[in-house]
Amino acid sequence: MLDLTAPVVVLTGAGVSAESGVPTFRGTGGLWRDYRATDLATPQAFRRDPRLVWEFYDWRRDVIAACEPNPAHHTIALMEQTLPDFTLITQNVDGLHQRAGSQNVLTLHGDIWIVRCTTCDYRSQDHRVPLPEIPPRCPRCESLLRPDVVWFGETLDADVLQRAWTAASRAGLMLVVGTSALVQPAASLPLLAQENGAMLIEVNPDETPLSPYANQHLRGPAGELLPDWWGRFQAGK
C-alpha cells in the first residue's frame, strides 16, 4: 500500500527535458559541431578555449529559451503543491522545472541562466540570448565570466549537496526520472535512498546502471508516463 504522507523525492536528469526539445548529453543530440557535450563541460575545455565553450553555452541557451516545460515538469510541480513532504533534486541547468512552477529546486549542477566571474565574486542572472559579447567579460573587473554550472572534476555546492543527501536518506519513495545515472555524486542518491528504506521508481525509456536496483520501472517517455503514474498514485493505486 502506498503511503501518501511519506517523504517523496524526485531526482531528474536531461531526459525529463527531452520532450521539451532540450538535447540530452549522452543521446544522439549530445553532439554540437562534432564536439561531445561532455567534452566541453570541463574546466580544461574552458581554459583551453573559452570562446568555443561559450559558443556552446550560448547555443544551448538559445535552444532552451525556445523550449517550454512539458507534462513531466508540470506533474512534478503539481507533486510539490500536493504532497506534504516533497523534494525535487535536478541535475538540469535549463530552468524548466522552475518555469513549470516548481518552487524549491535543488540544482545540483547549477544554472545556465547565471553567470559568474572567474576572478572576483561577481555573480548575476543573465537571460540574454544571444549574448552580446563572446566570451562575456565581468562588468566589475573585466575578467572572463563563466556559466554558473558544475563541470566535471568540480565540486558541487556543499549546501545543495547536503540538502540532497538529507532528502534522499529520509525518502520513503524516490522517482528517478530521465537520467543515465552515470554521473557522481547524483547517481549515488537513489542508492542512498534505497539503503535507508525508500522504494525506487525509475522513469526512463532505456535501461541504466540503476535499473537492477529499481523496485518499479516506467519504461517510456516521462512526459507520457509520469502524469499517468501521478493520477494512479493519488488514487492510491
**Secondary structure of residue 203 in the 3-state scheme:** strand
**Residue 184 lies near ligand BJW (rule: CB under 6 A):** yes
CB 195, CB 174: distance < 8 Å: no
DSSP code string of 103-170: --EEETTEEEEEEEESSSS-EEE---SS-SSSS-B-TTT-PBEEEEEPPTTSPPPHHHHHHHHHHHHT
Q: What residue is closest to ligand BJW based on CB?
A: 15
Among 3, 142, 206, 228, binds ligand BJW (CB under 6 A): 206
Least Cα distance to 173 among 230, 107, 106 occurs for 230
Q: Which does 175 bind (CB under 5 to 8 A by kind): ligand BJW, Zn ion, none?
A: none
Binding of Zn ion at residue 120 (CB under 5 A)? yes
User: What's the closest the beta carbon of residue 161 comes to ligand BJW, in angstroms?
Assistant: 9
Does residue 48 interact with ligand BJW by CB under 6 A?
Answer: no
- 221 lies in the binding site for ligand BJW (CB under 6 A): yes
Q: Is 13 in the site for ligand BJW (CB under 6 A)?
A: yes
Max Cα distance, the chain (Å): 59
Is residue 27 at the binding interface for ligand BJW, with CB under 6 A as the rule? yes
Q: According to CB under 6 A, which one of 4, 67, 134, 182 is a site residue for ligand BJW?
A: 182
Active site residue 97: no
- Does 161 participate in binding ligand BJW (rule CB under 6 A)? no
Residue (of 194, 184, 181, 177) closest to 161 by Cα position: 184
164 touches ligand BJW (CB under 6 A)? no
Which residues, at least 6 apart from 14, have a Cβ–Cβ distance to it below 8 Å? 22, 23, 24, 25, 27, 91, 92, 178, 179
Beta-ladder partners of 101 = none
- The answer to whether the peptide bond before residue 23 is cis (omega within 30 degrees of 0) is no
Catalytic residue (choose from 73, 109, 127, 217): 109
Site mask, ligand BJW, residues 119-158, x = CB under 6 A? Answer: ------------------------------xxxxxxx---
In the complex, which residues of this chain contact ligand BJW (CB under 6 A)? 13-15, 18-19, 24-27, 38, 41, 91, 93, 109, 149-155, 178-180, 182-185, 203-206, 208, 221-222
Q: What is the set of active-site residues?
A: 109
Q: Which residues bind Zn ion (CB under 5 A)?
A: 117, 119-120, 122, 138, 140-141, 143
